[in-house]
């Protein structure tokens, strides 16, 4: 395995399982160290054990909580002395239905967690380390942010906002910090189970590659964007979708 992250440290939010854990695992596998965050301490402890206690630490809390963000940044600097990479992966989608019927309290929470929290984490990582030393940030968006998404319209709108924020931050933070994003389609995680509950094989038929994504598919792409292999990329959105968006009507 490459050692692209040797001597570097990262924060990955929403990383006790699924896509976030796969990203953290890839960073560790390539020589880096990580601080992972999520809400539940028990699942974080299990994730740290899998990653290696010499390579990973965990800070439990809600992604949109300012005190939690401050604690995680502080813990990362104390443990590793640096924050070279940030992955804003934490996200929620607590409601399903038409926008016209959507509870506005739930809508505000989606925007808080999926967009404003990502901005807050970026601000803290930037002012805490990256402004002076440089760094790389990847935001985990979604193909739902590329067009209409029946039933998850506000989630899609929040991811569209995150994509736009990625481009804006890339302009503002360059050249010291690169900011990119990925947009996965359906990945086999607990978070996305409802999207393939009718049958994985049936859903996968819409994909030219005839399979759904797995967390490692996203981990490898994010690792590339974080690394110096992508040193001339910023403000870009990498779509990771098995080709499914090619079949959408335009």
Dig out the tokens for 214 from the structure.
């797995």
Distance CA(104)–CA(98), nearest Å, equals 12
Distance CA(18)–CA(228), nearest Å, equals 25
- Chain mean position to CA 231: 19
Strands 9-12 and 33-38 come out as parallel
Provide the β-strand partners of residue 183. 239
> Residue 142's closest CA among 234, 39, 218?
218
Catalytic residue flag (residue 126): no
The CB-side HSE value for 166 (13 A sphere, CA atoms) comes to 30
Buried b (16+ CB within 10 A) or exposed e, 116-148: ebbbbbbebbbebbbeeeebbbbbbbbbbbbee
Catalytic residue among 96, 126, 155, 207: 155
Q: Hey, which residues are catalytic here?
A: 155
């Amino acid at each position: 395995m490459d050692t692209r992250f040797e001597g570097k440290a990262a924060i990955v939010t929403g990383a006790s399982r699924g896509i976030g854990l796969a990203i953290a695992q890839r960073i560790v596998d390539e020589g880096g160290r990580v601080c992972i965050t999520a809400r539940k301490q028990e699942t974080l402890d299990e994730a740290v054990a899998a990653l290696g206690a010499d390579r990973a630490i965990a800070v439990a809390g809600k992604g949109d909580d300012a005190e939690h963000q401050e604690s995680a940044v502080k813990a990362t600097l104390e443990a590793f002395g640096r924050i070279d990479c940030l992955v804003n992966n934490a996200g929620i989608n607590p409601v399903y239905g038409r926008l016209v019927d959507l509870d506005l309290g739930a809508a505000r929470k989606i925007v808080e967690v999926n967009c404003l929290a990502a901005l807050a984490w970026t601000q803290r990582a930037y002012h805490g380390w990256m402004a002076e030393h440089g760094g790389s940030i990847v935001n985990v968006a979604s193909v739902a942010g590329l067009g209409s998404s029946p039933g998850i319209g506000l989630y899609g709108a929040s991811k569209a906002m995150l994509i736009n924020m990625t481009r804006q931050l890339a302009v503002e933070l360059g050249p010291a910090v690169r900011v990119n994003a990925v947009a996965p389609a359906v990945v086999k995680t607990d978070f996305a189970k409802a999207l393939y509950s009718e049958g994985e094989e049936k859903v996968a038929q819409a994909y030219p590659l005839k399979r759904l994504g797995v967390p490692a598919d996203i981990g490898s792409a994010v690792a590339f964007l974080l690394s110096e292999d992508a040193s001339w990329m910023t403000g870009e959105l990498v779509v990771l979708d098995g080709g499914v968006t090619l079949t959408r009507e335009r």
